[in-house]
């Protein structure tokens, strides 16, 4: 009876393709780890030039937690994150008693956020694992330009 049960279980596992599921999950995990490493590299290059923002919690923790969903757009075949959105995400960490102060900080942060995103894009473009994301964007952009000019 155990032998029959083992065969049924084995057939069920084969039908579920668990090996493929495990492979896909491990591939996703590896890509996420690699992406976080690229965020860390970009931050390491960006931070010495923007220490005042590091002191105001625009730091690696913020980038790998609160900002992570926004930065993950680089992994999709869509548009890159917007520096203003990144600055707004940063501002949402705090309770602002004065909207004018929040707006002044956002105005000052947007150029620094833009610079960080450029550092991150350079890191990602340099890595073969992420190159296809940017190739797909270039291809989509050229198709959109062609469609509009025809």
Report pLDDT digits (tens) over 91-128: 999 999 999 999 999 999 999 999 999 999 999 989 88
pLDDT band per the 50, 70, 90 thresholds, residue 145: very low
Q: Give the start-to-end residue ranges of the domains of the chain.
A: 33-149
Among residues 88, 82, 91, 101, the alpha carbon closest in space to that of 56 is found at: 91
Alpha helix ranges (H) inside the chain: 2-16, 18-46, 51-55, 60-64, 68-71, 83-91, 99-126, 128-149
Between 94 and 137, name the one with better pLDDT: 94
Q: 62: number of CA atoms within 13 Å, CB side?
A: 20
Entry pTM? 0.70
Report whether pLDDT(88) > 70. Answer: yes
Report whether pLDDT(24) > 50. Answer: no
Q: How many other CB atoms are there within 10 angstroms of residue 39's CB atom?
A: 23
As a whole number of Å, the end-to-end CA separation of the chain is 69
Asked if residues 122 and 42 have their Cβ atoms less than 8 Å apart, the reply is: yes
């Amino acid at each position: 009876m155990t032998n029959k049960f083992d065969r049924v279980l084995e057939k069920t596992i084969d039908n579920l393709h668990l090996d493929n599921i495990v492979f896909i999950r491990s591939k996703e995990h590896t890509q996420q780890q690699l992406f976080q490493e690229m965020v860390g590299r970009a931050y390491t290059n960006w931070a010495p030039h923007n220490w005042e923002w590091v002191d105001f919690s625009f730091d690696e923790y913020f980038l790998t937690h609160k900002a992570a969903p926004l930065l993950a757009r680089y992994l999709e075949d869509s548009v890159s994150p917007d520096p203003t959105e990144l600055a707004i995400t940063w501002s949402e960490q705090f309770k602002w008693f004065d909207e004018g102060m929040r707006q002044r900080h956002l105005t000052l942060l947007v150029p620094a956020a833009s610079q960080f995103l450029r550092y991150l894009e350079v890191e990602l473009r340099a890595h073969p694992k992420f190159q296809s994301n940017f190739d797909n964007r270039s291809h989509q952009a050229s198709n959109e330009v062609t469609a509009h000019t025809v």
